Structure 1
Amino acid sequence: MTGITSLTQTTQDDDLAIRDLLARSQEAWNRGDGTAYGACFTADASDVTFVGTVYQGGAEIGRAHQALFGSFLSGTRLHLEILDIRRYGADTAVVVTRGDVAKKAPRRLGKLATYVVVRGADGGWGIGAVQKTQHRPLMEAVSFRVQPATRPAEG
């Protein structure tokens, strides 16, 4: 039983570390700190924004976001809710979140993001990729009505 207990504890510890990573990225965003935001990503990370821009690498992600924090995103806060963490081996996880960016608390979290997080050589977790999508409830409802088989299974 000790092996199972330590495996369960390791998984729980890793899930906490992954949650902490996303919380650090959120805190960096909320401070308008592009350098700290970029540091949450791996050196070879990909960030696909909801408008379709692709940034490569933590340094570029941080640099670009610092420019955004100084203009379009000035004073905004990242609101984030983790919906699911799925582990794929000991060193990789996919995290699905619901969130939004606004100066005040949004009425609803209208964006979804899928993160791939990876364990680095130092044992810490970093964001290897993120892709953001605007949720379109009306289009989704039309799709489900026209073709009910497209509705996801209840989780």
Structure 2
Amino acid sequence: MLTRRKTWLAALAVAMLVGGLVPAHASATDKASATDKAAATDTAHDRERDLAAFTRILKQQEDAWATEDGTAFAATFTVDADLVTFNGDYLVTRQGIAEGMQYAFDNYIPASRIVMLDEHVRFLEPDLAIIVRTSCIIEGDDETCRSGSHSRNTNVLHKGHGGWLQTSFQNTRIQPLP
């Protein structure tokens, strides 16, 4: 992919030179700068698409939580993913996450919805990102977070052939020190 991008950028630079968009007397630095700007624009567009994918994944999880659907919740994860719940349960594989979440929905989690309060996205590689989010649970028709429901979770996402999916998720209940 990177080789194709470099080839494409080189071809674009030549076309710009031949087409008069870059003066023939332009220095190598000027030409490199034009190539760098094109690459930066591509990267910015890639990041916008990545962030939109992260938003879709979060929305899918929020919807699955609201409908208490463990399978739909787990569908946002890779097949070999893992998840640590707020109470320390360790769920392994997409199937294990689906079963564990469904058990929690059926037995412990009241009808509620997740609300994301803030997030910080960090790309480690073009195909690997870490998102740290703060969220809370809102029950029924309430409009405010349930007391004691604030949590911070760390999501590790990987971009594969099928797009972005979570590969690991750690959820920690926020409990201020006394």
- Preserved contact between residue 127 and residue 158 of structure 2 (Cα < 8 Å): yes
Determine the C-alpha separation between the residues in 2 that align with 1:81 and 1:41: 22
TM-score by length of 2: 0.72
Which stretch of the first structure deviates more once superposed, 29-38 or 74-83?
Answer: 74-83
> 5+ unaligned residues in a row in structure 1: which ranges?
143-155
Contact 1:34-1:63 at 8 Å conserved across structures: yes
**By how many angstroms is 1:101 displaced?**
2.8
Q: Does 1 or 2 have the higher relative contact order (CA < 8 Å, sep 6+)?
A: 1
- How far is 1:77 from its partner? 1.4
Quote the RMSD (CA, aligned, Å): 1.7
One-letter code aligned to 1:98: T
CA distance in 1, matches of 2:82, 2:161: 19
Corresponding residue for 1:13? 49
Q: Which runs of 5+ in 2 are unaligned?
A: 1-36
Query: Cα distance, 1:85 vs. partner?
Result: 0.4
- 2:97 maps to a residue whose letter is I
Q: Any runs of at least 4 consecutive aligned residues in structure 1 with deviations exceeding 2 A, and if so which?
A: none
Distance in 1, matches of 2:118 and 2:55, equals: 8
Count of residues paired in the alignment: 138
1:4-153 paired onto structure 2 within 5 Å = 4-103=40-139, 104=142, 105-106=144-145, 110-122=150-162, 124-137=163-176, 139=177
Identity %, equivalent residues? 26
C-alpha distance in structure 1 between counterparts of 2:53 and 2:65, whole Å: 18
Cα distance change, pair 21–3 in 1 and its aligned pair in 2 (3 A): same
